[in-house]
Structure 1
Amino acid sequence: MNHEDYYTIERKMCSLPLLGLYTFIRMTYGLQTAVFAVLGDSVDLPCPIPSVGPCSEVNWKVSDSYLGFYKEVVRAGLVTADLPHTVRMGAGCSLHIDRLEQDSARTYVCSNGRFNASLSLEILTITSEKKGEMMEIHCYLNDFKGYVRSCPHQGILLEWLSEANTALNKERFSFKSPSKCFSKIIFKPRPIDHRRTWRCQLRENDTVKTSLGYTLNITDGIQEVFALVGESVSFSCDTSSIAGGLVQWVGPQPTLDGVRLPAVTSNKPDLSLAVSQGQAGDYQCSPHGDKTKVLATVRLHTLHVSAEQEGSNLTLSCVLTCALEKCDQDVTLGWTTASRSSRLRGGNPMTQNTITSRLSTEAVQLTGAPTVCSVHKDGVLMASETWRSANTAAASPAAAWAAARAAAWAALPLGLLLCAAVGGGLYFHSKKKTEKGESSF
């Protein structure tokens, strides 16, 4: 019987109430429950013995990483060994471990004097490796990196996501998974990848068990930020490399009606900014009095949605203002709405450093439905702004009249039906009175 056969037996027996037989099969064939976690987590390892009994009879042992022996951790419900991490008994006779380290990934055995059952603690790890111009980010369980060992776990999947939890662009990233316990992405880093995070997520039988992110730091890199007009953003600058910690932020010179305004400056390590349409551009942090040494660069793009209405016709404009003279080709704008009946028409005209997407429809069709403009880069959601019809309803009597007229027409069939029912009832009641000799009009 091979390993897959053992796994099939385990899955089938899980669906039966024969827990004693299930435990016997697990112990006979050496099958283990796996608990997945990441470094620094705290976990509770459940005792895999069904009806384990009083915790005062429970013992826990842990495998030795080097010699293959087992070390006693808990005897008769009391912790007996000092480990490099905090260990204590938890609820249901579980073994609680604080602040997981890489060395915590071992096999743990729970016993109660009659049965023994084991489980494995698996630590998800991320490392990086630079090969020429290419960057590799590796995600793996314990020491299953590369082709060294086969992966004994069934039903698990390692998948890569952006910091917005969306799939990565396959045109830019390549993926390799030598085993189910090891996966890596390969790509050529760009300056604007600075401070960007990629996430490795572990699924078991379509259930997310844990995930771990990797943030890339690039020397002389540029942190790219997409912000909504009207919101507040904050940029940080690392002052550990300069004496005294005094810095100076310098931003672009925005324009207002063709007149250039003074650049945004600040002497604080953290720059807070109330975003307006004219403030897209690069913001640089330098040591105070020395603009030649750049400590940090933040590239700010702004997103804004506005509405124009004539009668019942509504036009929404979504404008992305890019920091540079020309927006990147991999940046796109798009509209989504919860109203299925809306006939949406949108375009993406580009003018210098702006991309504009317009949506035309009837105001009544978007009543109460949130309409969202989103900006994506490399297929990843960077920012979005929601417009609701209530934003302009008070300022537009025509829209209110159109909505009321549509509601009246929608209610007309129901009104006629009610009138017919009431009229018929009155006639029937009058006829009965006439038959009794009472007068009717």
Structure 2
Amino acid sequence: MSDNNHLCLLGLIFLSSLLTGVSGVNKTHVFISSGEDVRLPCNNALHDCTSTTWLYNRFSHSEAVELIGLGIKKRDIERHERLSLGSDCSLNIRNISTENHGSYICQQWTGVNGKHQKQGPDAGVYLHVLHVSSSHTEISAGLSVTLFCRLYSYPRVSCGDPGRSERIHLFWVNQAGVKSDSRYQISSSSDPCIISLNKTLLNEDHNREWRCEVTHRDQVKTSVTYTVKSSVSLFSLDSVHLSIFPAVIVIIVEFVVFAAPTVILLQIICARRAERKDSQQPEEIVLNMMSE
């Protein structure tokens, strides 16, 4: 009997989410960078999280997935180990990926004897995930590299459109916070929301940082920093040459200090032995004559 009641509750939850739609949801926008942890607020929470249910949807024509049901985390979903329910009924997700973007809905269900009714309006959260990728996995000086910064959103938003109420924009800035640079070419696309930065790397670009920022209603919400790291030691060729030159000098100095005295000592010993040999030759001649 309890299983049937639970199935009826799930049916009511899905039907409610479909009938309510976006118009009946109090929307909150949350922006996060890929790889970080995020907290999604439940703005309609009651005094006890045992009434809280979290739903997730990423596609417009797909059914909502139940992540949390009446305060209990579902074990049969792919990311269950990264989910947790906060003390304030918020939904916590660890190590966010681009696949986690989408629409999250917090609902409250109360009742007795297996009969539940939804309480109040839904609390919706739109999770936007910012991600940066490179056109090359291995980079070096002289190589033309393109950095892609994309905002993953559902429903899909148009970046840079001043006529939309969301007013979401993407920017590339260098480590000094400057948005433009004569060396770099920046291009953007509103559908999908993506901005790219193309540059030809120089030696001095090693360890240089570029940051992609997303703004919502003219406020910076999150950013991703990309640091140029050379996989080949072309960036440090000059430093390698400079480091070899002092090493050669040290070797020469060590040879002069330690090897040269040894050579001089050997020359002295050889010269003395030669003198002794020359002084012994007349005596040997006299002895030879006497013996005859």
* Structure 1 pair 153–106 and aligned structure 2 pair: CA distance change class (3 A): farther
Given candidates 65, 72, 84, the residue that maps to 2:66 is 72
Q: Calculate the TM-score normalised by the size of structure 2.
A: 0.59
Q: Deviations over 1:187-213 (max 9, x none)?
A: 222233233221112222343221111
Aligned to 1:352: none
**Distance in 2 (alpha carbons) for counterparts of 1:222 and 1:168:** 25
Q: Compared with structure 1, are the counterparts of its residues 171 and 79 closer, same or farther at alpha carbon in structure 2 (3 Å cutoff)?
A: same
Question: Which fold has the larger relative contact order, with Cα–Cα distance below 8 Å and residues 6 or more apart in sequence?
Answer: 2
Q: Distance in 1 between matches of 2:24 and 2:236?
A: 52
* 1:104-143 to 2 correspondences below 5 Å: 104-112=100-108, 113-114=118-119, 115-129=121-135, 134-142=144-152
SS in 2 for 1:93: coil
Q: Which residue of 1 aligns with 2:177?
A: 166
Residues 203/189 of structure 1: CA separation in 2 closer, same or farther (3 Å cut): same
Distance change in 2, residues 1:167/1:251 (3 Å): farther
SS in structure 1 of the partner of residue 204 of structure 2 = coil
* Cα distance, 1:153–1:212 mapped onto 2, change above 3 Å: farther
Question: Is 1:95–2:94 an aligned residue pair?
Answer: no
Cα distance 1:211–1:220, how it changes in 2: closer, same or farther (>3 A)? same
TM-score (norm 1): 0.40
Higher strand share: 1
Within the candidate set 243, 246, 267, 1:250 is matched to 243
- 215-224 vs 192-201, greater mean Cα deviation: 215-224
TM alignment of 1:213-224, pairs within 5 A? 213-218=225-230, 219-222=232-235
Is 1:44 equivalent to 2:39 in the alignment? Answer: yes
- Please tell me whether Structure 1 or Structure 2 has the larger radius of gyration of its CA atoms: 2
> Deviation of residue 32 (structure 1)?
3.3
2:57 to 53, 60, 63: 63
Indicate if the aligned counterparts of 1:60 and 1:109 stay in contact, CA closer than 8 A.
yes
Q: Is the 8 A contact 2:25 2:122 kept in 1?
A: no
Structure 1 runs not aligned, ≥5 long: 1-24, 225-234, 238-248, 255-259, 264-441
- Is residue 193 from structure 1 mapped to residue 205 from structure 2 by the alignment? yes
Q: Which of 166, 178, 200 is residue 189 of structure 2 equivalent to?
A: 178
Query: 1:55·1:76 contact (CA, 8 Å) conserved in 2?
Result: yes
Tell me: CA distance 1:64–1:172, structure 2 relative to 1, closer, same or farther (3 Å): closer
How high is the sequence identity, in percent, across the aligned residues? 23
Q: How far apart in 1 are the matches of 2:63 and 2:227? A: 38
Report the count of equivalent residues: 206
* CA-atom RMSD in angstroms: 3.7
Structure 2 unaligned runs (5+)? 1-19, 109-117, 137-141, 252-292
Measured at CA, do residues 30 and 150 of structure 1 come closer, stay the same or move farther in structure 2, by a change above 3 Å?
farther
